[in-house]
Structures are given as C-alpha cells and as structure tokens.
Structure 1
Amino acid sequence: MSGKMLGLLRSTSFFALLVASPAIAQETSGSAAIKSEAEPTPQQDNQSNAASGASADPVTGAAAEEIIVTGYRAALGSAQEMKRRSDAIVDAIVSEDIGKLPDNNAAEAISRVVGVQVLRYNDEAGVVLVRGLPDVGTTFNGREFFTAEDRVLHLQDFPAGVAAGLEVYKSGTSDLIEPGLAGLINLRSRRPFDVKDTEIAGEVRGSYNDQAKAYDPAGNLLLTKRWDTGIGEIGALVNFSYVRTTYRNADRYADSAVISPAGFNAEDTADDLTVTTPGVGQFRFPANAGNFYEKGIRHRPAINGTIQWRPTPDLEIYAEGLWQAYRGKVLRDGFNVNFERRDINGVAPTLSNVVLVEGEPLKAASFTKTGGYVPEFFRSTQDDKTDTYQAALGFKWNSGRATLSGDFAYTNSKYEADEDSVDAQLATAPTINVDWDVKGSAIFDLGDFDKMNPANYVWRGFYQRHFVTKGDGVQGRLDLELETDSAWLPKLQFGVRASDRTALMQNNNRYAYTAGLRMPLASLPTGELELINDGFRGDPQRFQNWLMPSRSAIRGNVEALRQLSYASVQQLTVLFPNDGGIRDAVTKFATEEIPFDPLNGFTAKEASYAMYGQGKYEFDLGGISADGTFGVRVVNTDGEYSGYSRVTDANGVAQIVPQISRQNYLDVLPSIQTRIRFSPQFQMRLAFNQTRTRPSFGQLNPSLNITRNSPGPDGSPPQYAAFGSGGNPNLKPLTSDNYDATLEYYFSKNGSATLAVFYRDLEGFISNYTRDVMDPDYGRIQINRPENAGKGRIKGAEASFQTFFDFLPGLLSGFGAQANVTYLDGTNALPTILGEGARQVRITGLSKWAYNLTGFYEKGPLSARLSYNHRSSYINSYNRNSNEQQYAGEITRGISRLDFSASYEAFKGITIVGNVSNILAEPFNNYRYYNETQYFPRDLRIEGRYFSLGVRFKM
C-alpha cells in the first residue's frame, strides 16, 4: 500500500454455519433407490444428482434399506456418494460437515475441498478459486444469486441455517447454468421435506479474537414442520441467524514503486536527491513506506424460509425467500513516509548511512533520510450496509415418463457506504531511519520525534464519500425430462432459461486539501486527540502509534468538519487563485450533501437467453458398464452499458462526454461426460466441455478519463499524446476448452481414493494493465484499464484420500483421516506492448501446490477435528516498467493455516462445541519484482486468531 490509500476495499460479510443436518439430493438414473431419514428434495436446474448416505455398499453392492445420516462418518459418506454417482465431475461438502469444521464461514469450509483455494482479508475468506482460477460460476439452489452490481454469490455472506450442502462442479453438463472457466459452485439450502416431522435446532455461541481483543455473540435458530392435510402434504421452514464479528489487522508496507536517485535508469527517478554516504553509487529503494491498520465490526442478520406443498404424489410446489444483510463499522488508519518528494520550500531530501544489500548490487538495505516532504497520515471512518432479497416460486410435476419443473425468482440487492476521513501531516520533517526487509517488509522510526505532543500535528484535509451500488433481476427456467424406451439412451432433457439484470454504481466524493493553512490538528471540532491502537503482536516495527481524533468524534462532527472545510478552501482560493482543484472543492463543499458526479458511476442492463438439449446414455461392453451425458447449451447475451468520460485538453479544460456501448454475442457450449464402471468399487470418468465467463459490469464501464499532453518547448510532439484510465467496453468473455479425466476407487461407505488430471485451453483472462495503444482519435496514448490477455493453458492433477480406521480396536477405531493435494501449472500471454510480441507468464492467483490434511476422531459423544491447509506462492499482478519496457510481478508468499474443532454431546440433543481458527496466525506477505531478478518486500499483514465456545441443540 502506498500514499493516502483511500481506494478502500469493500467490506465483505462473514458468518458461521451452525446447524447440522443431512444433505439430501435427487437420485440419478441407473442407481438404486435410497431411503434415509428424509425424503429427496427437488433440485434446481437438475444440479444435484446424488443422495444422502449410500443406496448400496460400494464394496458388496448390497442394497441398504435405511441410512441414518449423523456425524462425521455419515457426512463424509454422503459427500463421497454424491461424487461417485454424479453425472459431472464434482466434489462436495454437506452441512453436517460444515457444521463441525473449525471455520467461520462457508468460504472457509469449502477451502478444504480438493482443488479449491480462497483469498483471505480482514480475518475472513472472500474470493474462492477452483483449480487456481477465480472465474467460478455460483448459484443458490441452482439459480443465479448476486450481491449488488456484481455477478456472484458471496459464500462468506450466507447465514448458518441456509446451507444443506456446497457442490463444486469441475466439469459442466448442459443443464447447468453457464459455469465459469473454473467451474460452478452451488449452495443448496435446507427445505422442510428434508426432515420427517418437526425439528427445532440451533446454536448459541460466543467468540474471541486475540488481536481485536473483542468478544462477539452469534446465534442460529431453525424451525421446521410437516403436516398431512386434506389438500396434501405441507412443510414449512424458517431460519433466523445473527453473527457479529470484530477484527483488527495490522499491516506494514513498502511501496510498489521502486525509485533511484537522479540519473539512473529505474522505473522512476527522484529529483536531486542528495546522497552523503561515500562510495555507494546508484541504488534502488521503494518510494514510500508506512503502516496501515484496519478495525471493524460486522453484523450479519439473516432470515430464510421455505414452504413446500405436495397436493398429489406427482406434483410439488414450493415458495422460498431469503433476506441477508450486512452492517459494518470500519476504522482505517494509515501513516505514510515518502522518500523522494521535496518539502514545501522545494528542498529535496538527503540520504545518509546508506547500506546496500550484500550480493545484490544497486539495492538498498537501509538508510537515514533527513529533510524532504513530511510524513502524511489519515483516519478513515466508514459505515456501510448491504441488503439482499430473493424470492422464488417453483414446481415439479411427474406425469410418469415425463417430468416438468420450473423455477422463477426475483433478486434485489443494494450496498451503501458513507466514509469520512480526516487527513493530517507532521508539522516538520523528522529524521527517518528505515530498513527495507526485516521479517517480511519495511520497518522505520522517526528518531527523537515526540509523538505525544499535539503541536507536532497539522490538519491536511477532509475527505467524504457516498458510495452506492445496486442491482436487481428476474429469472425463470423450465426443464423437461423424458424417459425413452431406448436401452442405450434412457433419458432426454430439454430446457430454456431467461434472465434480465440491471446494475448501477455511483461513487460521489469530495476532498478539501487544507495543508496550506497550517492549522493545528488539535484545533478541529473533534476534541482531544488520542493515541491510535496498532494491532501488532510482537512485531519489530519501531514506529507504530500517533495522535488522531477518535472515531466517534469524527462521525459525530461531520457537519462541523464540512463547514470548516468549506471556509478553509474559500480562504485558500485567495492564497492560490489559479488552483483549479481548490475552486472545485469550494463548489463541492458548499452543500451538506455531496454533489452528484457523473464521472464516477455507470449503469448496465443485460439480458441472457439460454436453451439446452441433453441426452443420458448407458451401455455395457464385455462386463464393463458405461454411462454419461452429451448435450449442448446455447446462450445469447445482450447488454447495454453507459457512463461518462472526461477529456481534458493540454490547457486543463475538461469536457464531459456521455458514453454508451452495446454487446450482443452468442455462445454455443457443447459438453460430454462418460463414466466407465469397471466394478462397484472402481470407475473412471472422461469429460469435455466449453465454458464462457462474462466480464464484470464494472470492467465493461465505457467511461474513460483522458488527459492530453502538451507539445515540447520546441513544438515537438510528446512521447504520449495522452494518458488515460477507465473501463473497457470492448472486453470479450473469457473462453476455455476443458478436458478432464478421473480414476475413483471407493473401498467403503466413507473411504475412497481418487486421482484427477485436467487441461484447460483458454483465452482472454481479464486484468488491469498499463500499456501503450494507438487510439484513432488521440494517437499513441498510455492507458490503464482492464484488458483481455492472450491465449493460455492450465494443466494439473488432484489426488484425494479419506477413510476411518475401523479396523483398529476399541477407542482407536474412532480415528479417521482426509487428505488432498492439487498441482497446477498455468500460463497465459500478457497483452502486447507496441512493437513487441506477447509474453507468456504465470497466471495470476494460481498456486502451484495446495493441500489439506485433516485428522478426525469420532466415538460416542465426542467428536474432534484438526485441519491443516497450505497453498504455495502465487502472482498477484503484473506491471510494466515504464522505462525498461518489460513486465514485473507482485507475488504473495505461500501460507499455511491450522484449525481445530471439537464437540461433546452432553445430553441427547444438547452438544457443547468449541473451535480455534487460525492457530498458526501466519502473516500475509507479498513482494514486488522491479526487474527480472530483484525484488523488495511489500505488505506484511498480521491477522487474528478466533476462539469460540457454544451450545448446539436439536429437538
């Protein structure tokens, strides 16, 4: 992180999945009927083709009359049976499994599935990667679900009682809603027909975060009942959930921009830096270093409910609704030291005591800076909230040889954030002693600076932002399944689906830069200054704390700060009459409400229409049976995206230009799956399918910010006619041809060993790049925007094993183990630089190795689980060095995680549960290559451990 760091990350939700119950899914053709504690639930878009428990022993083939699904064994067996019988290549985790994992949310739980990885921030898992790719389709009960303006379901947002199972489809069938390049994740909810009669279940839990030093409550209550009435069987379910979490993260960083004293060919050159250390010559170092702390409280209330009605044995009708919400209070503190800028009198800094890294020429290890620009810092306060609603109606009608089903839903989601930030700087530039790589990042001190003296702090500015993003959509589908008289083609499936989405983002903000008035920070209408809390745990950072107004003082005096800012920028117009930014601030701060800014927003309308046809086949060859599916899905996407661009000429005169773009494209996506069963225990799968992933609405935003350059003093044209940034309405969907093969051996009801190999031939990864383009209107410009990368490929392998050691005597038979490992090798071509060819690099976000090791114990009333997760290093991004015309990368180091959970059934239906999450508390750590072989560390972020204790009940 560098500079003011006011590009803030949206807070994401986080919850604990609390209630355990069996996952029940619809059976596939050609498999024995299953009886369990509950009857099958109808699935959306035919996405679940598995059953809870097992219909037949995979070793003996004998039919099982009834299976009661409880405990780790049954949960593992249920997920294993789903994998074994599914039409697609799928891995799953069921709710009994999630309820007993030592995890805070579903995204954490799914990270233990083979081939799945997650990205964590602020003590919770967020982005989910499947086989190293973030381009994952997501559905809720087989239907599209989204938050605000995006396209995806956020697993960390879902409340406890919603999840009956999580299904990771790594190869798609034609009846699935279009998966992403990496596959599709479906979250399946509980329904009242999943239980026999009446059930009351839930959990009350308290947790403690050792870094935030806070205690938080959580609770979940699920009520469900079934009735036999004169109009048929009726079931109702309602679930209430509330989770509060408090987090605090501490980050020390070095800038990604690497500079050098004047006259050296680096990315950037600092002007006239004085170096007094004799004999060191030229060298490189990051332009900034600093601290960044974030603390927040997340509240997540949620309610979901379902009514099912079965008027006849052949017809089922259901209605379901979900409200999930987020309420957050966030506090961010940043302190930044700049090592290149001049002071207000134009005097550049002096570097002394320079020590270079031994064995690495031209790279600074440490030095002392005097003079130059003063350190800057800020305190940002934010209140934000999300409300997401989905209502759905559906039916399933079986007429004998034909089954017709349908599902129709409306979704509405809105996220809103209000931010108020006080900026400050030191009154004078202290002596800065910096070491660039100590335990993963930079550390520094301010010499003899007195941090407790309010006179050392000056008000620098006031920033306000009101951010809104929202979306809504309607969708509907109809599916028809026909049984035929053909032995080799027993089923045909057809379906149609339509959806219509809108999305909007608006980011209004204003900033009053007041440093020129030299007003004491203590003079603000926010009362006495306080020493901020840092959140470090035994870290070597030497400077950690400084004075700022309290959060409550800032939030409680927003209007007074706005009025003071307005008066201040009016005063500054007299001192700096030619400063256009100050004049703009006078206009924006004249009213209490932040003015609407057309340049900081976009709207989108997008409709998609899909149809598919699919056949299920089966045949025998010399005692070896085979079955599978083949089909095609055809999807038309029609979108309109609008925004505004700003074009500023060489004289600083800006023109606002409306922008509207359209996209309409047709995708034809074939798929074929084959399962070859050599015996009841041993089978092989082969699969091929094509996938497309649409760009996000924000990436398709047609708005650009273009600033033209002036000619040189002699009238010569500049190197770049203009600089620009923005979205890219010309982005194409990401495309992939996917090949998969698996070997699967099932040696018991909850024991298996599987091996998978896969290959992805892909094109069009989207990422932000700064590169040169020839624009028909402006000529050669340098622009930063989302771009499609070139062709690429991913190849990899997965292996997994799970079992309970039932052969051991007595209490030892309660032990079990689960292990999986994923290997990935993937590259793609970066966008070309003018005059150069495309360059193949590692795909961003892809770890070469990831593995999970889990040990279980389950005997009588006691259950316990210890889980270890590791993923190796991965590339965050690529950046082109402006002078050296090459790409350099930012890399995150590998990280491990250890979690523990245990439960004890003290009485029938009453279980005491305890979890410890993130036991190792390994820090997040990344580093930036500034040429092909050398790098500086960047962020070192320390996160908290969670301890929780609760009581689960079921009656």
Structure 2
Amino acid sequence: MKSKMRLLASASIVLMMAGGAAFAQEASQGTVAASTDQTATEKAKDKDDSTVIVVKGYRASLRSAQQIKRRSDSIIDAVVAEDIGKLPDVNAAESLARLPGVQITHGSDEGSGVLVRGLPDVATTVNGRDISTAELRRVQMQDFPSGALAGMEVYKSGTADLLEPGLAGLINVRTRRPFDFKGFEIDGAIRETYNDQNGKYNTNGNVLITDRWNTGAGEMGALLNLSYTEQDFRNAVRWADGYIGSADVNGQTIRFPNSVGVYMDTGHRWRPSANATLQWRPNDQVEVYADLLWQAYRAEHANDWAQAPLWNGTKSNVVLQDGTDQVLSMTNTGGDPILFYRSTGFDRTDTQQIAVGGSFTSGKLKLSTDLAYTNSLYSNSSWSLDSAINKSYPINVNFVSDGGTAWNAVGMDVSDASNYIWRGYYESIYKVGGNGIQWRGDAVYDTEWGIFKQLKAGLRYSDRNAFYEANDRYAWVLPLAIPFDSIPVGELSLTQDTFRGGDQGFRSYLQPSRAGIVDNRQALLSVTRDALAQLVALNPTDQGWKNTQTQWQPDLMPYNPYRGFTAKEATRTGYIQGRYETHFFKSEVDGNIGVRIVNTMGKYSGVSSVTWDGVTTAVPHTISQNYTDVLPNVSMRLRPNDQMQIRLGITKTRTRPDFGQLNPALNISQYVPNGTPVPNAADAYGSAGNPDLKPLTSTNYDVTWEYYPSGNTSASVAVFYHDLFGFINNYTSRVNDPTYGVLEVSRPENAGAGKIKGIEIAGQTFFDFLPGAWNGIGVQSNLTYIDAYNELPAALGGAGQMVKIPGVSNWSYNLAVFYEKDKISTRLSYNGRSRWINSYDNRSGGWEGEGTEAVNRLDYSFSYSPNDAYTLNFDVSNILAKPFHNFHEYEAGKRFVRDIRDEGRYYGLSVRFKYN
C-alpha cells in the first residue's frame, strides 16, 4: 500500500510541475481560462458551452471534463466520452470508478454498486431528470452502456436547484441531443470480446443517427441512438460457510466453518437500449424538446453449487493456527454426503421514460419546465434441480490454501452417474415494478441587487407507485434415493472447470445442462408430483408432505398473496437560491445561498406471515408517513487569480429509504432439517422490512483547492466531513420468542450517529512541453482516503458501539497513463480500493462481520485512426485477474476466508466509424 501511495503522490506532483510549462502552449492554441471579470450572463453562457460534446481523443476528453468541473457551481467531478460511443469502460459504473472519491463493487464480471465518498445513497438523474428502476429510488448505473452516453457528472455537494441528492450526492448521466451536432451525422461502433475464463465470444455495438435543419417554423433536430451489449461470464468460487462450528478433538475445542464448497456463477446477459430526442427552436427565445429513453436488461443464469458438510463426522489430521483454536487444515470422515444444485433462471428489466419540456428567455428572465413519465418492471423466474452423493466420502480441507479454502473428496469418481441421487426441485417467481410522473418548473432571473447577481426559484411535484410480488415452492425428495440420471433432463455432463489455480481438488461434477432443466419443465413437474405422492403414502400422518403436494398441483405457480407489497408516495418541493459575487482581499468571490423544502407523503402496505407445522397464517399491515425536510446550502468560491480557485460548502442532505425497506411485513418460516440437523440452527428463519425506518440525514462540510494552469492540466485537493445519522443496512439477529423459540431474522435498521471524513487528491496533464513525439504522453491520477464510522443499531442492542460503515474502503486510487499522437491513442489504467466491510450480524450474541479484501484492476487499450471516419481499437480489461476475496470475522482478530472468486479477463477488438 505504501508503494502505491508513493506512486500516486509522485504522479500528482509531476502534474503540478508540468502545468506551468504546458500552459504557454495551450494559451497559444486559444484555450485560456475564463476571465475573472466576466458578467453573470457571460458566465452562464460559458457554463452552457462547457457541456458541448467533445468527440475527439483523450486530450479533448480531459479538457472537457476539466472545464465542467471548473465552471460548476457545485463540487463535482466529471467523465466525458473521448469519442462517440466510447467512455473509458463498457458501462457507466466502471467509468465512474476512475473518478476521485468514487468506489464500486464488482460481481459476475461487471462493475455495479456505486459509492461516492463512502456512501451508496446516490441519487441519479438523466439530463437533470429523476430516473429510477422498479421499486428503487435510483437507476442501476451498469444499465447504461457507454455507447449511449456523452458523459457523467458526480455532484459531491448539492445546490438547492438540483434534485435533492442522496447522502452521497448525485450522479447525472448526459445523453446526446441533435443540437449538440453541426448537422447530419451517423456514428457507430461494433465490438467483439473474448473471455479467457470460459472461452466465450460476445458482440456489442451502437449506432447514432442525427440531423438538424432550418425550416420556416425555426430550427429543428432529431436524434436516435441504439445500443446493444452482451456478456457471457463464468466465475469460479471456492467458499467456506459463514457459520463457524466447533468440535472436541483429544480434549481440545477446535473452530472451523460448518461446510465448504464450490460455486460457479454463470450466465449470459444482454442489454438493448435506445434513446431519441426531438428539438425545436422556433426563435432565439424559445426551445422545446421531447425525450424518449428505453433501457432493458436480460439475463439467463445456469449456476452450479456444491457443498461438503463438516458439521458432523470425525476430525483427524488437524492442524491449528499457532496459539489458537482455529483450524488451518483437517480431514473430516463420516460426515453428511456432498450436496449439489444447478440453478437456472431468467431475468428481465424494462425501463421507459418519456419527457417533454422547454424554455423561454426574455431579457434577464429564463423560464423552463419539464414533464416526465417513468415506468420500470423487473421480473425473474428460476428453476433449480438439486442432487446429492449417495454416500459419505472423507473430505480433506485446507482453509488457507492459496488465499482461501481448497478441498477434495477422497476416492470419489465425480464422472460416475451412479454416485448421484435426486435431492429436490425448486421453482420461484418474482416481480417488482414502479411508475411515476414528475413535473418541475424553474425560473432564473439575472438581478442588479448589489452583490446578488442571480435568483433562482422552482417547484417540483412527483407521484410514484411501487409493488412487489413473489412465490416459490420446493419439493424435497432425498428420502426416496431416486437415481439422478433417471430424471428426464437429458444427458448429465461434467461442469466446466474455470478455476485458475491448481489448489482446488474438487473442481467439476455431473449436472444437467440449462436447457435440460428449462426445456423439460413439464416433465420435471410430472416426476416431482409422482415423488411427492410416494412420500405422502409413506408418511400418511405428516401434514407437511400433504401441504407440499398441494403447492405442486398447479402447472403455473401463482403469486403468493402473503408476500405482496405496495407503496404510493408523493412529494412536493420548492426551492429558492441566490447567487452572489463580490471581492475579498483582491480575490473574486462568488457562491450560492439557497434552501430546498421537500414534503413527503407515503402509504406502504404488506402482509406478515408465519409458516409453522405446514400451516401459514397472515396479517395485513399498512403504515403512512408524512414529513417535511428543510435542506439549506451555502457555498463560496474564491479566485485569487485566473488559475486557482478555492471552494467552501455547507449542505444538508437526506435520503429516503427504498420502498422495499419500508415494507411493514415480517415473514417467518419454521426450520425443518433436510437430513441431519445443522448444529446451532434457529427454530425459525425470516426476513422483514422496517416501517419505522427514518430518512438518512447528513450535514456536509467541503473545502477544495483547484489549480488550472491550462486547458487540460489541473490539480486539486478536497477535504470533506459528513455528520450523519441513520445509515441503513441489513442486519441479522437472533431473538427468543415465547411462542416460536429462537428466531433468526434479517431486516434493515437505522444505525446511530456516524462520521465520515476524508481527503481527495487528483491531477491530470499532457506533457506538451516535451520535444517531438514525447509530448503525446499524458497522465491522470487520484487518491482518496476515507474514514467512516457509525453506531450499530440501538434496536439490536448496539447503541454506542462504533464500527466501520459497510461498503467503505479507507483507500481508493486510480492512475492512468495516456499516449496520443497523430493517428495513435493508447491508455494503461490502474484502479484499486483497499479492504472493506460488507455487513454485520449478531447471530451468536456478539457482533460479527463479513468483508472483502483489497481489489485491484489493470486495463489497457490501443486505438489507431487511419482517417477521421474510422478508428480501430484493441483493449484488455482485468489484466491482473487477481482473485476476489471475502472473509468472515467471527471473533476479534479471528477470521476465515469466506470465498475466493476467479473472474474473467476480457479481450476486445472494435471499430468505430463516423459519417457526416
């Protein structure tokens, strides 16, 4: 870590030193920093100009992003497409990870969840308009392909005129509009990728068509952008149970995970998307537009899982960590047989947004309005076929082999179908969605009121609905010992081995194909019903088997009325904000003072259910909320000269819980062991929402120093502090219920008070002062340190206990080296973050935690442009392909690696084209 810090710090110093020399050349090219004596109107015009799309090269991309950051009223960072259809990465989330203070999570070979300055509660907008997916309050950033975007801005401090940001801020995604172009143009790209882990090829592409023209009714423009991305992935995981068991060996208690296993995260996903815009400018005062956005997500999954139980059996060859009771390696003999499943499924998301709006300018007054409707639906259907080995084999396990658990089944022939028996069949359905309408109206007036130069005011109304429906059923048939190869799912074959190292011994096993399960569903229903009839006949007094038999009578499983959830919520918002300008100690000073007031009214309904002895009882619940937030903001920018500025900001933010988190329902199911009971199991397990959740609130303090010696050279330092309360996370706890015994329930809870403080250091430049070909070298780097703690929930007895906030790394860092000269562009980029905690629970009566070890990625790309119409590109992502590690800390200073995941390395070859 120290060497990485020195490298990044050195890069930042080089940036600052290079700035002065680079400035002279940039000035001669006509790119000069904005003058400090501009009028407010001129500054507003510059601000508009800064969003014009720059479509050529890394240098232009860095310059455009730098100008957006420099001229913004807020503290922001930006990433801009270096060319049509080319952000730095495949999706928006991965591009955002290259900005200072932004961290993301990875799963199934793609970047996904986004944290800004340590917080996941980020509001999202598209072209300044609120957008969300299904029942969430934000959109999934990985659903935005790079080919659809012009750029993104991460607002780390809010202003009253912005949609109220989450605790972490706001991410605005910008798409292209026809007036961004000079006239007719067709742009596009096609890209072929190869995954070296599973040997699969995928094709991605996008095309944009736009034109603008003058008519008798004024200037008009139209744009259509289509994008398609797809990816096959197969991650190999070797894992250890999060439940820590114990045994007595020669009079000594030893501790070890209850089971070990392997998991193959496998699937094919594809994302078609489209956006279209019409613009009309009848005269210099009026502009009208209509936007249409459609985003879709599709995925087919075929996941494999194997589990070797260790909770019973005889332990031998035990090796302990020195001075502890923690097992490093052992042999388990006579335990339960190995269990398997192949889980298949289909996911589908469709999100549509249609909006109309416009603006009118008359002298010093500008009026604007926007009306939008959004609808989003996500659904999932899954089918899982379970199997088991028909006898027990000795398990050799090493919990510290090549960074994690490795194990083998001694003497087992994994390719012999006679070793496998059918264990069960599972089906589930899930659907969640939301829709809403939003309207806003804004007025901007350039005043002559002393130091106050501009006044903004506006109103906003939104009305949203959300719902959730689900059901599942499971038939456990293991007691019948039915041969697995007799099930009508086609031929069994060994699963693909995609482990990168040689430590794991148990790497592959017999399973049906995905098509074998999905295409033979009716046959599976038939044999499942036959098996359940046998079990009912063998157990005529067991009501549980009879209830299961009833569940499997319908061919198509209906949604369970006990598991539904609905929400309806409306907000009314008003804001006012003034912009001031003055002088202070020979410095130009400007800033904003404003307040945003938001009233929220909501109604949330769900059904609580308890399943016990095969009987389900249910009770409906409905709660209402009505509260008002007052969110002030004050900011100041000091500009001692044309190259330097210092920002100060104080804001108050809040984030409402997601709709599903407010579900008032509690669902509990009795634990019925399939086979040998697991030691320390609860009597029942359940999950719940929490209608008592409060919005997360935070008061935020920001100070930044920014230095801009030239158009694409900059250095900055930002210090921030969040004083927050009510951070929401899921917690698992056990309680003793007088009726049902020990209940283990997972539900969201508000944590107590928290503090987040940190510093960001960033810089970028091209070495234009170097001679000849050397002046094509450029570098960009940033380093972020975050210290984030909050109290554990008082509701779970954790009041006063300060712990690290889940999901937050202390360190994150990026370093990119560019070369751009004539027809060649190339980039090598390194991105990483340090260890973080994922979650806490108190199942054992004391607080335990699970976390993830440091993640580092190296990517490379090379582009060649023989002319202005075509660009050829080669890229490699995740070059290092370092395994992903999770860990479980069950006592202070004692942990086992939870899982270790081998991920794919991707090679890409693409061509981009332009015609105008």
Per the normalisation by structure 1, the TM-score is 0.88
- Cα deviation, residue 723, structure 1: 7.0
The alignment covers a number of residue pairs equal to 873
Q: Is the 8 A contact 1:792 1:826 kept in 2?
A: yes
- Tell me the residue number matched to 2:150: 164
Q: 2:594 & 2:801 partners in 1: Cα distance?
A: 36
Q: Secondary structure at the match of 1:193?
A: helix
What is the aligned partner in structure 1 of residue 713 from structure 2? 751
Structure 1 residue 580 displacement after superposition: 4.0
* Partner residue, 1:295: 266
The answer (yes or no) to whether the contact 2:40–2:454 under 8 Å persists in 1 is no
Match of 2:483 among 510, 520, 536: 520
Q: 1:693: which partner in 2?
A: 655
Contact kept in structure 2, 1:101 and 1:901, CA below 8 Å:
no
Matched, 1:350 2:319: no
Quote the offset at 1:837 in angstroms.
Answer: 4.3
Match among 331, 343, 349 for residue 302 of structure 2 = 331
> C-alpha displacement at 1:162, in angstroms?
2.7
What do the CA deviations read for 1:561-595 (whole angstroms, capped 9, x no partner)? Answer: 01111121121112223444422221111010113
Alignment partner, residue 473 of structure 1: 436
Q: Do the aligned residues in 2 keep the contact of 1:304 with 1:322 (CA within 8 Å)? A: yes
Residue 50 of structure 2: aligned partner: 51
Distance 1:836 1:92, change over 3 A: closer
Q: Is the 8 A contact 1:98 1:109 kept in 2?
A: no
1:397-446 alpha-carbon deviations (Å, 9 max, x no partner): 10111111011111111112221110000011111111111122211111
Task: Say whether residues 1:365 and 2:365 are aligned partners.
Answer: no
Distance in 2, Cα, partners of 1:161 & 1:34 = 34
The 1:827/1:432 distance shift into structure 2, 3 A limit, reads same
Aligned partners of 1:468 and 1:692: how far apart in 2?
A: 28
Instruction: Give the structure 1 partner of residue 566 of structure 2.
Output: 603
Q: Where does residue 437 of structure 1 map in the other structure?
A: 400
CA distance in 2, matches of 1:633, 1:232: 37
Q: Which residue of 1 aligns with 2:240?
A: 254
Residue in 2 that maps onto 1:714: none
| Equivalent position of 2:107 in the other structure | 121
Shift of 1:836: 6.6
Task: Give the Cα separation in 2 of the matches to 1:697 and 1:805.
Answer: 50
- 2:628 pairs with 1:629: no
Q: 1:204 to 1:482 in 2, by over 3 A?
A: same
For the residues of structure 2 that align with 1:590 and 1:722, how far apart are their CA atoms? Answer: 26
- Deviations 1:144-171, CA, capped at 9 Å, x for gaps: 1112221112221123443111000000
- 2:376 aligned residue (413, 438, 443): 413
Deviation per CA, 1:323-343, whole angstroms, max 9, x where unpaired? 121221111000001111xxx
Q: Deviation string for 1:720-765 (max 9, x for gaps)?
A: 9997531111101111000000011111111111001000000111
**Structure 2 residue identity aligned to 1:824:** I
Q: Please say which of residues 237-246 and 867-876 is displaced more in the overlay.
A: 237-246
CA distance in 2, matches of 1:146, 1:299: 20
- Alpha-carbon offset, residue 485 of structure 1: 1.7
Identity %: 49
Between the aligned partners of 1:199 and 1:875, the Cα distance in structure 2 is: 48
Aligned to 1:9: none
Shift of the alpha carbon at 1:360?
A: 3.8
Query: What per-residue deviation string (whole Å, max 9, x for no partner) do you get for residues 340-359 of structure 1?
Result: 1xxxxxxx5222222212x2
Structure 1 residue 598, shift from structure 2 partner? 2.0
Quick check: 1:513–1:582 contact (8 Å CA) kept in 2?
no
Residue aligning to 2:179: 193
**Preserved CA contact (<8 Å) 2:81 2:87:** no
- Counterpart amino acid of residue 876 in structure 1: N
Alignment partner of 2:772 out of 785, 807, 810:
810
Deviations 1:47-101 (A, max 9, x none): x767158xxxxxxxxxxxxx97632112111111111111100110112279555
**d(CA) in 2 for partners of 1:433 and 1:775?**
39
AA partner of residue 814 (structure 2): N
- Residue of structure 1 in register with 2:411 after alignment: 448
Q: Does 1:311 align with 2:310?
A: no
Q: Distance in 1 between matches of 2:855 and 2:127?
A: 33
Secondary structure at the residue paired with 2:732? strand
1:890 aligns with: 850
Q: 1:147 aligns with which of 115, 133, 144?
A: 133
Once residues 330 and 842 of structure 1 are traced to their aligned partners in structure 2, the CA distance between those partners, rounded to angstroms, is: 34
2:809 to 840, 847, 853: 847
Structure 2: how far apart are the matches of 1:776 and 1:766? Answer: 28
Q: Which amino acid aligns with 1:334?
A: W
CA contact (8 A) 1:40 1:193 kept: no
> Which secondary structure state, in structure 1, belongs to the residue aligned with residue 451 of structure 2?
coil
Matches of 1:722 and 1:301 in 2, distance apart? 42
- 2:148–2:226 Cα contact (<8 Å) kept: no
SS in 2 for 1:96: coil
**Whole-angstrom CA distance in 2 between matches of 1:120 and 1:766:** 21
Question: 1:654 Cα deviation (Å)?
Answer: 3.8
Give the direction of change, closer, same or farther, for the CA distance of 1:154–1:808 in structure 2 (3 Å limit).
same
* TM-aligned CA deviation for residue 659 of structure 1: 1.2
Q: Which 10-residue stretch deviates more, 813-822 or 528-537?
A: 528-537
Residue 939 of structure 1 is matched in structure 2 by 899
How far apart are the structure 2 equivalents of 1:888 and 1:918? 32
| Partner Cα distance (1:98, 1:927) in 2 | 41
User: Residue 424 in 1 paired to residue 387 in 2?
Assistant: yes
Residue 543 (str. 1) matches residue 506 (str. 2): yes
What's the secondary structure of 1:808's corresponding residue?
coil
Q: Which runs of 5+ in 2 are unaligned?
A: 1-33, 672-680
The CA distance in 1 between the partners of 2:700 and 2:164, in whole Å, is: 14
TM-score relative to the length of structure 2: 0.92
Amino acid at match of 1:428: K
Moved more, 511-520 or 367-376: 367-376
Q: Which amino acid aligns with 1:144?
A: D
Who is 1:794 aligned against?
A: 756
Deviation of residue 539 (structure 1)?
A: 3.8
Contact in 2 for aligned 1:28/1:85 (Cα 8 Å): no
Q: Is it true that 1:81 corresponds to 2:45 in the alignment?
A: no
CA pair 174-28 structure 1, distance change in 2 beyond 3 A: farther
Stretches of structure 1 that go unaligned for 5 or more consecutive residues are 1-26, 42-47, 54-66, 263-274, 341-347, 710-718
Q: CA deviation at 1:833?
A: 6.9
**Of Structure 1 and Structure 2, which has the larger fraction of its residues in helix?**
2
1:599 positional shift: 2.8
Q: Distance in 2 between matches of 1:707 and 1:538?
A: 40
User: Which residue identity lines up with residue 50 of structure 2 in the other structure?
Assistant: A
Partner of 2:676: none
Identify if the C-alpha distance between structure 1 residues 34 and 237 changes in structure 2 by more than 3 Å, giving closer, same or farther: farther
Q: Name the CA distance, whole Å, in 2 between partners of 1:809 and 1:488.
A: 47
Which of 451, 456, 470 pairs up with 1:493?
456
Deviation at 1:172, TM superposition (A): 0.3
Greater shift after overlay, 534-543 or 766-775? 766-775
For the 8 Å contact 1:771–1:833, the answer to whether it is kept is no
Task: Determine helix, strand or coil for the equivalent of 2:882.
Answer: coil
Query: How do residues 226-245 of structure 1 correspond to structure 2 at under 5 angstroms?
Result: 226-245=212-231
Alpha-carbon distance, 1:931 to partner: 0.4
Superposition deviation, residue 653 in structure 1: 5.1
Q: Tell me if the contact between 1:103 and 1:899 (Cα under 8 Å) persists in the aligned partners.
A: no
The CA distance in 2 between the partners of 1:894 and 1:924, in whole Å, is 8
**Secondary structure at 1:180 match in 2:** coil
Classify 1:50/1:580 alpha carbon distance in 2 versus 1 (closer, same or farther; 3 Å): farther
Residues 1:135 and 1:98: Cα distance change in structure 2 (over 3 Å): farther
CA contact (8 A) 2:792 2:798 kept: no
The structure 1 residue matched to 2:822, chosen from 851, 857, 860, is 860
TM-fit CA distance, 1:794: 0.4
Distance 1:330 1:865 in 2: 33
Match of 1:284 among 245, 255, 258: 255
Alignment-mate amino acid for residue 785 of structure 2: Y
> For the residues of structure 2 that align with 1:452 and 1:835, how far apart are their CA atoms?
51
Residues 570 and 601 from structure 1, CA distance in 2 versus in 1: closer, same or farther, beyond 3 angstroms?
A: same
